[in-house]
Structure 1
Amino acid sequence: MFGTATAGSSKDITAIPGLWADDHGPAAALRSRGRAHARLRSAMLKDRKTVLMDRMGWDLRSPDGLHELDEYDQDDTLYLIVHQSATHRHLGSVRLLPSTGPHLLRDKFAHLCLDGVPTGPDVWEITRLVTSPGLSRAEALQVRRQLSIALFEHGLGHGIARYTMVTHMAWLPSLLSIGWDAEPLGLPHGEGNAAVAALQIMIDETSLQRLRGAWAMPKPVLPLPHFDRETVLAF
């Protein structure tokens, strides 16, 4: 679920070190719940519609023809968003769902897990990971890396030991090239470009520091929870 990523490995992209930046300054990352950050949320849902429905042809819902959202986009849903704070431009985002409640892997893809769907307060699901369709491949990779750092920071700060996700097999090399410690939860299902598999990504401080060093992002990318004013955390 990589948004503008194409099938295959990211190793053929000339990576840009550090945070994405433009003339207005570097990108920032934040946590957002539900309808907080309304302008950014609208931009995120528009990019999801463009990438997932218009470009990739997924059979998803757009209630107004502009935004993509489903039954998991609720008032208490948590998102991590990378954005240009000066211009309110959405650059990339990911949706996080607790495994103790409704989520895609449990509700629609449980057959992908050989030993059952992992659940518990320390297991959350990654869905709707997209980057802005206006980014180059190198910029999209740079934003995905910043989102990855944010995922690790958030996980370590909130007792999350692993994330689960469903991915198309064609994108698995691109996922693994990000540097996550990923493990399969079962065998792939489907054929060709339609084949999908479930994975879990282990979260630990050693992996976070390794990614920081590899991507030249030594400082935290997420603000401390109490500085993220529009977010109401409920963990």
Structure 2
Amino acid sequence: MIYIVSAENRRRFYHLLTEMHRQRKQVFIDQLKWRLEESAGLEIDAYDSEDAIYLIEAATPRGGISVSARLLPTDRPHLLIEQFRDLCEASPPSGPNVWEATRFCPAPDTASGAPRRLMLGRIIAGIMETALLFGIDEVTYVASAALAPMAEEAGWQVRALGAGRGKGRDKIRAFAATINADGLRRVRQTFNISAPLTRFAPAEPARAA
């Protein structure tokens, strides 16, 4: 199950959010050696704001996390416009109906190959389900040379926003994916997904004093 965690229900998922930030530190800082800030063993940046929506795959709200990702509205500060503008030949897509997907983070012990490909397929399906729920038309993302082909072949309609930066395995490129029901159907077919993966649990009602 992929939980949709927003400002509305964030307090309900404190355990998953903490574990997500811990995994991000292990993957991005410890394993990939990205130069990111950490605090108390957690990777949290300026874009982990109230506007962020997280997709977290776990069996239960207090279970272990297999994969997570972050979605940000593009009509306010986000990574592509502020950190990766040079990856785009023209102005990056932005507006109230465009989101940015970042921080795709498999669990640190995820095996390479097929397990990561299937995990990426599930998170793409989750992104599309969530975007359709919120009325989003397009999602932008930045991908490495290893990740980009898998994302492009997932079944959704993708276009490159520029030539990219770097060479070989270090090359990164920016992309925009169209969000629609046909694309979601193709992604589900590609990864043999037979039912919706996401769940939005409303905030717990306030208790009377």
Q: Indicate whether the TM-score tops 0.5.
A: yes
Distance 1:40 1:87 in 2: 6
What is the Cα-based RMSD across aligned positions, in Å? Answer: 1.8
Residue 184 of structure 1 corresponds to 160
TM-score w.r.t. length of structure 2: 0.88
* Structure 2 residue 105 is matched with structure 1 residue 105: no
Deviations 1:65-88 (A, max 9, x none): x11110011234210111121761
Residue 63 of structure 1: aligned partner: 39
1:29 and 2:2 aligned: yes
1:41 equivalent to 2:17? Answer yes
CA deviations 1:69-122 (Å, max 9, x no partner) are 100112342101111217611111110010101100011111211111111111
Instruction: Please list every run of 5 or more consecutive structure 2 residues that lacks an aligned counterpart in the other structure.
Output: 205-209
Residue in structure 1 matched with residue 193 of structure 2 by the alignment = 217
Q: Which moved more, 1:154-163 or 1:207-216?
A: 207-216
Distance in 2, matches of 1:161 and 1:142, equals 24
Structure 1 gaps, min length 5: 1-27
Q: 1:129 to 1:188 in 2, by over 3 A?
A: same
| Secondary structure in 1 matching 2:43 | coil
1:141, distance to aligned residue in structure 2 (A): 2.8
The 1:41–1:96 alpha-carbon spacing in structure 2 relative to 1, beyond 3 Å, is same
131 and 194 in structure 1: CA distance in 2 versus 1, 3 angstrom threshold: same
Q: Distance in 2 between matches of 1:74 and 1:87?
A: 22
Cα deviation code 1:107-147 (max 9, x no counterpart): 11112111111111111000001111123333333332221
SS in structure 2 of the partner of residue 166 of structure 1 = strand
Equivalent AA in structure 2 for residue 47 of structure 1:
Q
Among 181, 199, 202, the alignment partner of 1:229 is 202
Contact 1:47 1:132 in 2 (8 A): yes
Preserved CA contact (<8 Å) 1:169 1:188? no
Whole-Å separation in 2 of the counterparts to 1:210 and 1:117: 26
Residue 92 (1) aligns with residue 78 (2)? no
Q: Which SS does the other structure have where 1:114 is aligned?
A: coil
Task: Give the letter aligned to residue 78 of structure 2.
Answer: H
Query: TM-score when scaled to structure 1?
Result: 0.79
Between the aligned partners of 2:137 and 2:203, the Cα distance in structure 1 is: 26
Highest RCO, 1 vs 2 (Cα 8 Å, sep ≥ 6): 1
Distance 1:157 1:208 in 2: 12
The SS at the match of 1:141 is helix
